């Protein structure tokens, strides 16, 4: 099946509130161009150098999302063009994004990464840490950083009820914060190739799908 057919198939399953982030890390530029040519405009990358190279080579109306762990010393390279950073996992990183956005005369939309999975290896704030940060208005002095929602990854498991429960916990947090302290919240990034339908059912507005669209990645 072609990339275009796979993209159209995924989009046919998505609600009108949910958008597709085509996760293109480690994929060659010609495959991203193929996805672009069939109408895909949102791409997700997790390596700064790779993202910078692709941004330079591909059309300028692409909406680039950074979805991996972001080191503070790398923020300056993507600050001029990044649309959304999904993976803010510390106040230190948030301050650096604000600083670099200011230098580029931009306001950058960001999501707080929340640890909802059973695996300790996953990054992110705990649910209680996010509640505390938002209730304390911790980002109010960062005018060039716009916290617009949350991101999380479910456990890698065949137990779909466990996955649903984890997504539901993030969705509940999102809507509680939106109602009480964060009316600007608009994005809930959860769901990948193997669980995006469940994520969408639980309120996801951004699903991050790579393997299903492009095939297995070449890590060489």
Q: CATH second-level architecture of 3-211?
A: Alpha-Beta Barrel (3.20)
Does the pLDDT of residue 132 top 80, yes or no?
Answer: yes
pLDDT of the residue at 120: 77
**Across 157-181, average pLDDT:** 97
Q: Sign of the CA dihedral 122, 41, 170, 88?
A: positive
- Do the beta carbons of residue 149 and residue 169 sit within 8 Å? no
Going by pLDDT thresholds of 50, 70 and 90, the confidence category of residue 23 is: very high
**Across 34-47, average pLDDT:** 98
What are the residue ranges spanned by the domains of the chain? 3-211
Does the pLDDT of residue 49 top 60, yes or no?
Answer: yes
Going by pLDDT thresholds of 50, 70 and 90, the confidence category of residue 218 is: low
Cβ partners under 8 Å of residue 96, min gap 6: 72, 75
What tokens appear for 181 in the block? 């302290």
pLDDT digits (tens, 9 = 90+) for 87-96: 999 999 999 9
What tokens appear for 56 in the block? 């330079």
pLDDT of the residue at 118: 87
Q: Is 116 helix (H, G, I), strand (E, B) or coil?
A: coil
Cβ partners under 8 Å of residue 103, min gap 6: 76, 79
pTM above 0.85, yes or no: yes
Tally the residues of the chain.
220
Q: What is the share, in percent, of the chain residues with pLDDT greater than 90?
A: 94
For the chain, the distance separating the N- and C-terminal CA atoms, rounded to the nearest angstrom, is: 24
CA-based nearest residue to 70, from 79, 57, 61, 62: 79
């Amino acid at each position: 099946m072609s990339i275009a057919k796979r993209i159209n198939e995924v989009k046919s399953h998505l609600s009108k509130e949910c958008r597709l982030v085509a996760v293109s890390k480690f994929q060659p530029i010609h495959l991203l161009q193929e996805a672009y040519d069939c109408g895909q405009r949102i791409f997700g990358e997790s390596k700064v150098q790779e993202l910078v190279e692709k941004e330079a080579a591909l059309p300028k109306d692409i909406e680039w999302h950074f979805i991996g762990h972001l080191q503070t010393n790398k923020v300056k390279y993507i600050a001029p063009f990044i649309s959304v950073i999904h993976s803010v996992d510390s106040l230190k990183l948030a301050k650096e994004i604000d600083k670099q956005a200011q230098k580029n005369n931009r306001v950058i939309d960001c999501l707080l990464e929340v640890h909802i999975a059973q695996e300790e290896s996953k990054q992110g704030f705990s649910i209680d840490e996010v509640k505390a940060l938002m209730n304390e208005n911790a980002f109010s002095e960062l005018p060039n950083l716009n916290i617009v929602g949350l991101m999380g990854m479910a456990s890698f498991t065949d137990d779909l009820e466990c996955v649903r429960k984890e997504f539901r916990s993030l969705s509940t947090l999102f809507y509680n914060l939106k109602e009480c302290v964060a009316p600007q919240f608009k994005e809930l990034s959860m769901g990948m190739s193997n669980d995006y339908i469940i994520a969408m059912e639980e309120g996801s507005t951004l699903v991050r799908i790579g393997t299903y669209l492009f095939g297995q990645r070449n890590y060489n």
